[in-house]
Amino acid sequence: MNQDRSFIALNIAVLTVSDTRTEADDASGQILVAGLTQAGHHLYAKQIVIDDIYQIRAVVSAWIADAAVNVIITTGGTGVTGRDGTPEAVTPLLDKVLDGFGEVFRMLSYQDIKSSTMQSRAVAGVANATYIFCVPGSTSACRTAWDSLIKEQLDYRTRPCNLVQLMPRLLEQ
């Protein structure tokens, strides 16, 4: 990190995808909210939606269309069971996919969960100048994603480069 740049606080929306979680027991969503607020960002919105492709897509689409939202982080629905549909809901909305996010996330997760990381379908990308990160629903996965990847890339002071410095150019044609 380089202190010659000033921190830029972003508006971040958090979506928990779960058929069973409520605000009272949404530990993964709470970890993401705590991480982003401790880093100095603003929680723009937080919502829980059932694992249904169209309900996920409706919420994410509304946030993508909202110019005030800079970043969306979803947790849950990235596994391989029949109800896991977050990547299918979000990927068609992306203008560009950040393949490196899923690759590095799985590499980092391997240190903790070994070959089970191959079940993760973590994905990230950009849509309408909004960064979107879809991470697994476990608290450990949320910590790994935030602490080891997302937090630094959403900090304008991170060198040699970060996602924030690219924001003014995301809508260029």
pLDDT tens, position by position, 12-37 = 999 999 999 999 999 999 999 999 99
Average pLDDT over every residue of 143-172: 95
> What's the whole-number average pLDDT of the chain?
95
What share of the chain has pLDDT > 70, as a percent? 98
Average pLDDT over every residue of 109-128: 91
| CATH number corresponding to 11-164 | 3.40.980.10
Sheet holding 71-75, edge to edge: 42-49, 11-17, 71-75, 130-135, 123-127, 96-97
Coil, helix or strand at residue 36 = helix
The confidence score (pLDDT) of residue 3 equals: 61
The confidence score (pLDDT) of residue 1 equals: 53
**How far lies 109's CA from each of 106, 116, 140, 162, in Å?**
5, 9, 9, 22
What share of the chain has pLDDT > 90, as a percent? 86
The domains of the chain are located at: 11-164
Average pLDDT over every residue of 58-67: 98
Q: What is the pTM of this model?
A: 0.96
